[in-house]
């Protein structure tokens, strides 16, 4: 048995399908390309939630309700922010989310959607010695997240961030979604299930990769020779961050969706030169990987261009996984509700391979 549960089907879902051979991602009947940059994040939240909550309002009403939830979450967490800030930014966000009520209603879900978008900028500001900025319930979700981060509206950056949140909103039974479904299957509330997803997302083999992508780009720039740097990493048994995927054997379609957004931002000269450099590193990495691991098709994954996009809209690298969580939380909640609806506890078996006790006569 493979320890990584490769090829095991553990759930039926109407939410999303990852076609690893063809390089396609389908979300509730729509290809990723139909959604990213075309639907707002709140609309995609509604798409994912449809059928899983009785009282789901229209797109416009849901966007307003998410705005109200941002304000509610800010009011709840504000008194404890200073106590959370000394932790790393991901752990402090997770701790802030842990105090949210553990229910299964739409209001509980919307608080969980709002929480990473509120906590991340507030904690980043506190870490810089600045006062957190309160949410504006009338603003769009991505735009408000950036306004809470910088203190001023950045309309040119809101749409790219919104496209990012949509691009990562759901992705089959990845490690964090599986963890979320396992906890949801016990009929624990949504907060408990989402905390499980947050734990799984943190690791560098999953959602923790984009920060290290920036570190890699910086190290390669300093070294002046991408191919030599990458070869040396492989020779030392290291993995190249932002490359490889358990399901995709071709290019991750989200990488191209995000690269398009970064290219649009590239008219800002700093982003344009960073993109050109990253593209050169990507080519070098694909060549080095194809030679070093010829038996495995290792292609660019979502995290490579995530790093560039989130850097371009103003997030520091230590907060990249928080922003990933701000998008993925919609998918986690929908999967949790879908799993709860089955009424079936997820409880696989292990095979005991340890020592056996001596039989006492
Ligand atoms: N760099 C170097 N070698 C790699 C990489 C990589 N990025 N990815 C896979 N390999 C190699 C492995 O070392 C292994 O080689 P070996 O057979 O000689 O031992 C072979 O490819 C197969 O590796 P597995 O671990 O079986 O592949 P798996 O499908 O489990 O890997 C994973 C998927 C974990 C994402 C891997 O590609 C990886 O570690 N990538 C780097 C981290 C990263 O980018 N994570 C983000 C993933 S996207 C997401 O979760 C949102």
Residue 279: active-site member: no
Question: What's the pLDDT at 87?
Answer: 87
Could you tell me the sign of the dihedral formed by the alpha carbons of 27, 29, 35, 41, in that order? negative
- pLDDT (mean) for 24-44: 97
DSSP state of 165: H
Cβ–Cβ under 8 Å, residues 30 and 48: no
Comparing C-alpha atoms, which of 24, 43, 310, 329 is closest to residue 170? 329
At residue 266, does pLDDT exceed 80? Answer: no
Residues 71-130: pLDDT tens digits? 999 999 999 999 987 889 999 999 999 999 999 999 999 999 999 999 999 999 999 999
In a mutational test of the pocket of ligand 1, which residue from 4, 242, 244, 294 has the highest number of ligand atoms less than 8 Å from its CB?
A: 244
Whether the predicted pLDDT of 2 surpasses 90: no
Structural tokens at position 20: 């690893």
Mutate to test the pocket of ligand 1, among 170, 175, 177, 239 (most ligand atoms within 8 A of CB): 239
Sorted by sequence, the CB contacts under 8 Å of residue 61 that are 6+ apart come out as none
Q: Which residue lies with its CA nearest to atom 11 of ligand 1?
A: 293
Please state which of the ranges 91-100, 266-275, 338-347 shows the lowest mean pLDDT: 266-275
DSSP H or E stretch at residue 24: strand 24-27
pLDDT tops 70 at residue 204: yes
Distance CA 238, CA 234 (A): 5
Closest among 181, 184, 164 to 327, alpha carbons compared: 164
Residue % of the chain over a pLDDT of 70: 99
Residue 159 belongs to what H/E stretch? helix 155-167
pLDDT at 359 over 90: no
303 noted as active-site residue: yes
- Structure confidence at residue 1 as a pLDDT band (50, 70, 90): low
Alpha carbon of 222 to ligand 1 centroid (Å): 25
CB < 8 Å & 24+ apart, contacts of 96-103: 96/123, 97/191, 97/194, 97/195, 97/198, 98/191, 98/195, 100/73, 100/76, 100/191, 101/189, 101/191, 102/188, 102/189, 102/190, 102/191, 102/192, 103/189, 103/190, 103/191
Give the tens place of pLDDT for each residue, 152-168: 999 999 999 999 999 99
- Cα–Cα dist 81/95, whole Å: 10
pLDDT of res. 271: 84
Residue list, ligand 1 pocket, CB within 6 Å: 4, 204-207, 209, 234, 239-246, 293, 296, 298, 301-303
Indicate which residue of 137, 233, 303, 311 is catalytic: 303
What tokens appear for 56 in the block? Answer: 């789901």
Mean pLDDT of the chain: 95
Q: What does the pLDDT average to over 296-320?
A: 96
The closest of 262, 273, 274 to 305, measured between CA atoms, is 262
Interatomic CA distance for residues 114 and 120, integer angstroms: 10
Task: Kindly give the number of the ligand 1 atom that is closest to the alpha carbon of 301.
Answer: 48
Q: What integer pLDDT is reported at residue 3 of this predicted model?
A: 87
Confidence of residue 272 (pLDDT cuts 50, 70, 90): confident
**Range 269-284 average pLDDT:** 92
pLDDT tens digit sequence for 5-24? 998 999 999 999 999 999 99
pLDDT tens-digit series, residues 125-149:
999 999 999 999 999 999 999 999 9
Give pTM, 2 decimals: 0.95
pLDDT attached to residue 361: 65
Whether residue 60 has pLDDT greater than 80: yes
């Amino acid at each position: 048995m493979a320890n990584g549960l490769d090829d095991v089907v553990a759930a039926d879902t109407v939410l999303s399908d990852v076609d690893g051979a063809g390089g396609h991602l389908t979300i509730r009947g729509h290809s990723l390309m139909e959604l990213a940059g075309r639907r707002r994040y709140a609309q995609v939240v509604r798409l994912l939630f449809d059928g899983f909550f009785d009282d789901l309002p229209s797109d416009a009403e849901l966007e307003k309700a998410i705005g109200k939830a941002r304000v509610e979450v800010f009011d709840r967490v504000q008194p404890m922010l200073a106590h959370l800030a000394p932790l790393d930014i991901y752990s402090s966000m997770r701790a802030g989310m842990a105090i949210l009520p553990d229910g299964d209603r739409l209001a509980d879900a919307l608080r969980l959607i709002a929480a990473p978008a509120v906590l991340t900028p507030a904690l980043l500001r506190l870490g810089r010695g600045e006062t957190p900025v309160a949410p504006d319930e009338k603003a769009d979700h991505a735009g408000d997240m950036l306004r809470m981060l910088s203190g001023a509206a950045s309309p040119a950056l809101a749409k790219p961030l919104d496209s990012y949140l949509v691009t990562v909103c759901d992705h089959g039974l990845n490690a964090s979604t599986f963890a979320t479904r396992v906890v949801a299957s016990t009929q624990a509330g949504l907060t408990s299930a989402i905390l499980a997803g947050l734990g799984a997302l943190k690791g560098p083999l999953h959602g923790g990769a984009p920060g290290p992508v920036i570190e890699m780009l910086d190290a390669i720039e300093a070294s002046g020779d991408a191919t030599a740097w990458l070869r040396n990493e492989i020779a030392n048994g290291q993995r190249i961050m932002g490359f490889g995927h358990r399901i995709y054997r071709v290019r991750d379609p989200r990488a191209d969706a995000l690269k398009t957004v970064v290219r649009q931002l590239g008219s800002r000269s700093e982003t344009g030169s960073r993109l050109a450099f990253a593209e050169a590193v990507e080519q070098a990495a694909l060549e080095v990987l194809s030679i070093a691991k010829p038996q495995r098709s290792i292609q660019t994954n979502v995290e490579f261009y995530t790093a560039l996009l989130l850097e371009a809209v103003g997030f520091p690298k230590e907060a990249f996984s928080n922003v990933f969580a701000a998008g993925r939380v919609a998918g986690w909640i929908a999967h949790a509700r879908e799993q709860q609806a089955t009424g079936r506890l997820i409880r696989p078996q292990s095979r005991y391979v340890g020592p056996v006790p001596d039989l006492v006569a």
